[in-house]
Amino acid sequence: MLLTMDMGNTNITVGVFEKDALLFEARLMTDHARTGDEYAVLLHNILRLHDVEPSAFEGAVICSVVPSLDNALQRAVLSVTGCTPLFVGPGTRTGVNIRLDDPAQLGADLLVGAVAAIARYGAPCAVWDLGTATTVSVVGRDGSFLGGVILPGVVTSYDALSTRTSLLPHVRLQTPPRVIGRNTNDSMRSGAVFGTAAIVDGVTDRIEKEIGCPVKVIITGGLGREIAGQCLHPNVYDNELLLEGLRLIWEKNLRTPAEKNE
């Protein structure tokens, strides 16, 4: 079995694979105050909840955008599974040519998503990850990582809007019945859902114009399903994209040719 963990600014997504099949997915809150021992307890309880024996793991791989928690998570994984996790970063074999001014600046999550998108959907493509931040990873015709776009996340933006205005409430972000809201809550939901969908469509059109060809649009992340259904541009929603990318990267780095052919 393989343990995969995607550590974002809000949540840590945990996935367990048996060969190439994802057995389950779970989430932990990203908490800077937690120690390695506390994360170990939470991880152990998740595995017990899903009847997975910690000693069954042959490897672990982590994608992190929270460097301050890397050591704690590494200790937790080693303590529970006995495996030293592979952290995706500079020097990790991915098979993707990174065409950035400084490849070391590329976020691990963006690279992992691109690896999975190429494998599952082919190139060229644009991967929209709608999480704490909204990020776009652009892959060219030849499978090279060309660059991307970074925007404030949907929830992040609307939390700021509610916090910094006196009359606007915190609302649950879901698709309203119409674009033109007839009350404050629906008006805010319209801006979040339809407004973000319009951003996806508009920026994707500009990306296609810039690289000179159509791209496959893959949407993932917390609010991805809600937004994907409202986009005019053809797209696919893939909630397992980053976990699959982690599995593929682990295979490229640690599996032998004989193991890959099993």
Q: How far apart are CA 109 and CA 187, in angstroms?
A: 32
Annotated catalytic residues are 109
- How does DSSP classify residue 222? T
Do the bridges between strand 11-18 and strand 2-7 make them parallel or antiparallel, or are there none, so unpaired?
A: antiparallel
What is the dihedral angle through the alpha carbons of 139, 137, 59, 30, rounded to the nearest 10 degrees? 180
How many Å apart are CA 181 and CA 58, to the nearest integer? 52
Q: What is the rounded distance in angstroms from the CA atom of residue 41 to the CA atom of residue 102?
A: 38
Which bin fits 71, alpha (ψ -120 to 50), beta or left (φ > 0)? Answer: alpha
From CA 68, how far away is CA 65, in angstroms rounded?
9
Identify the residue whose tokens are 């994802």.
22
Q: Is 206 left (phi over 0), alpha (psi -120 to 50) or beta?
A: alpha
Q: Could you tell me the CA-to-CA distances from 142 to 1, 97, 168 in Å, in that order?
A: 32, 9, 46
88, 106, 125 from 31: Cα distances, Å: 21, 23, 33
